[in-house]
């Protein structure tokens, strides 16, 4: 029962935050993916960095249970699937979580996204044996691995480095990039207005 209560509290907080940062809004996703408005990218980078530093810091201090980590396997299909997801994400402006949140916030097009998603997931269920047979789902570089070796974790490290310290360092890099990334990388953003005409 406790786990259901936690699902309700953490799930609701996640949905509310996704709504408030603009992640459920295709205009903000489009701005980020066309590199015209990087506000959302800065938000996401800061979030990953914050989560990483807190998690690895907490694990080093013994406050966070290392057993809660859940690392997914690496294989060629991860990259191919990433390409597919990226194309659909850009076209629709939604990913699985934000699409569900957008529909809940009243966006009609997001209902079509969810319907398409249910068919897409079913299509994968039907074609899974072919992918499995192709070898593209076979583990790459050890499969379920982290970049460094995390003490007490059930996952191997790609490098012998301390996974905790490396995690904090990479987290800090994410935070730093969030701060130095400009508001826009291409024309049309606010930055261009600041460049004096020659």
Partner 1 sequence: MVLNWKTGGLLLGLVFFAAVLLVKPIGVSTQFVILDGIVADAVSPDFISRTEDGYTSTNAYIAKSDGKYAKSAANPLNYSFIFVLAMAAGAFLSARLRGGIDAEERAAPAIWRANYGDTPMMRYAVAFLGGFIVLYGARLAGGCTSGHMMSGMMQTALSGYIFAAGAFAAAIPTAMLMYKRG
Min CB(133)–partner 1 separation in Å: 11
Name which of 84, 51, 19 is nearest 172 in CA terms.
51
Residues 1-40 interacting with partner 1 (rule: CB under 8 A):
3-4, 6-22, 24-28, 30-31, 33-35, 39-40
Q: Does 45 bind partner 1 (CB under 8 A)?
A: yes
Min CB(74)–partner 1 separation in Å: 4
Min CB(171)–partner 1 separation in Å: 8
| Cα angle 167, 172, 178; round to 5 | 130
How far apart, in Å, are the Cα atoms of 33 and each of 13, 93, 175, 184, 192? 25, 9, 20, 11, 18
Distance (Å, whole) CA 157 – CA 163: 7
Quickly list H helices, the chain.
Answer: 2-20, 26-33, 39-60, 76-92, 96-104, 108-134, 163-180, 190-194
Q: Does 189 bind partner 1 (CB under 8 A)?
A: no
Main-chain dihedrals φ then ψ at residue 118, nearest 5 degrees? -65, -40
Distance (Å, whole) CA 97 – CA 99: 5
Per-residue x/- marks for partner 1, 104-143, CB under 8 A?
Answer: xxxxxxx-xxxxxxxxxxxxxxx-xx-xx-------xxx-
Min CB(60)–partner 1 separation in Å: 14
Q: Which is nearer to partner 1, 193 or 197 (CB)?
A: 193
Residues 56-85 interacting with partner 1 (rule: CB under 8 A):
58, 63-65, 68-75, 77-85
Residues 159-188 interacting with partner 1 (rule: CB under 8 A):
163, 166-167, 170-171, 174, 178
Q: Does 94 bind partner 1 (CB under 8 A)?
A: yes
Name which of 50, 51, 86, 55 is nearest 68 in CA terms.
55
Binders of partner 1: how many residues, by CB under 8 A?
126
Q: Which is nearer to partner 1, 59 or 197 (CB)?
A: 59
Q: Does 102 bind partner 1 (CB under 8 A)?
A: yes
How far apart, in Å, are the Cα atoms of 54 and each of 27, 58, 70, 71, 175? 31, 6, 16, 17, 12
Min CB(40)–partner 1 separation in Å: 8
Q: Does 152 bind partner 1 (CB under 8 A)?
A: no
């Amino acid at each position: 029962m406790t786990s259901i209560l936690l699902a309700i509290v953490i799930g609701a907080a996640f949905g509310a935050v996704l709504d408030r940062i603009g992640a459920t809004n295709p205009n903000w996703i489009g701005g980020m993916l066309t590199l015209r408005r990087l506000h959302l990218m800065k938000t996401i980078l800061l979030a990953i960095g914050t989560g990483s530093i807190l998690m690895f810091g907490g694990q080093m201090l013994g406050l966070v249970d290392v057993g809660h980590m859940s690392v997914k396997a690496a294989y060629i299909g991860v990259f191919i699937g990433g390409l597919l997801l990226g194309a659909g994400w850009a076209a629709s402006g939604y990913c699985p979580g934000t699409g569900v949140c957008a529909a809940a916030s009243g966006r009609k097009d997001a209902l079509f996204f969810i319907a398409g998603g249910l068919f897409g997931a079913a299509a994968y269920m039907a074609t899974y044996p072919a992918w499995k047979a192709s070898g593209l789902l076979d583990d790459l570089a050890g499969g379920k691995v982290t970049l460094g070796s995390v003490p007490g974790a059930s996952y191997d490290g790609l490098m012998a480095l301390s996974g905790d310290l490396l995690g904090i360092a990479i987290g800090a890099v994410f935070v730093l990039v969030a701060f130095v990334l400009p508001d826009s990388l291409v024309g049309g953003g606010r930055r261009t207005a600041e460049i004096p005409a020659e």
